[in-house]
Structure 1
Amino acid sequence: MNHPTNEGRHDDDAALSDFLASLMDYTPTIPDELVEHYVAKSGFQCPDVRLIRLVAVATQKFITEVATDALQHCKARQTGAVKDKRDKQQKDKRLTLTMDDLSKALREVSGRCLNHLHP
């Protein structure tokens, strides 16, 4: 089992400090007030705006992954459904996202998140 050296730990601490400091200059898509509301609703009080923004960034990443995966499911489903209707495909290129697409994406992304927590 590899034990981190003091120098390696110092580098990690410095990188974490730099990252947290950069959050002060970053405006996440999800407003601080919304994150603060849900964090407080869960019973956690956090006066540090850096941590609030870290939660916002993690939430934004999660939502982006779900939306991207749902789009892929939607495209795959509609590509398969339109193969018989080539003429209609040329006229109507809009995608229709369904709850099934979203549900599949949520299961996949949640599974990946859990795999990172419990390898």
Structure 2
Amino acid sequence: MPTPGTVPAPVPVPVPQSIPSQFGSGSSGGSGQGQFGSGTVSGQASQAGQQGNQQFVLSNSAAIRAEIHRFESVHPNIYSIYDLIERIDDMALQNQIREHVISIEGE
């Protein structure tokens, strides 16, 4: 488990290199055409789609890393608040503060 405040190395995510041919030149009928056309895609459009998928994966990975970093940096403080709550004598006040901390923790 990494120490608080550190971000673990990114984990590679496989990106599909081809798009299934459900809309292309599948075997749906005797004409040789797929459900929605001939299935031919220009090389540029195919590359643009793959680059778009890679950008999407990279932006998701960055967002996930940022959320992990935020969680790890905030979590020790939340535990400290729970410890302080235990020092309060009034149980109703303890529960009320604890509910607020839980709602903050969930956001």
Task: Compare CA radii of gyration and give the structure with the larger one.
Answer: 2
Greater share of helix = 1
Q: TM-score, normalised by structure 1?
A: 0.39
Q: TM-score, normalised by structure 2?
A: 0.42
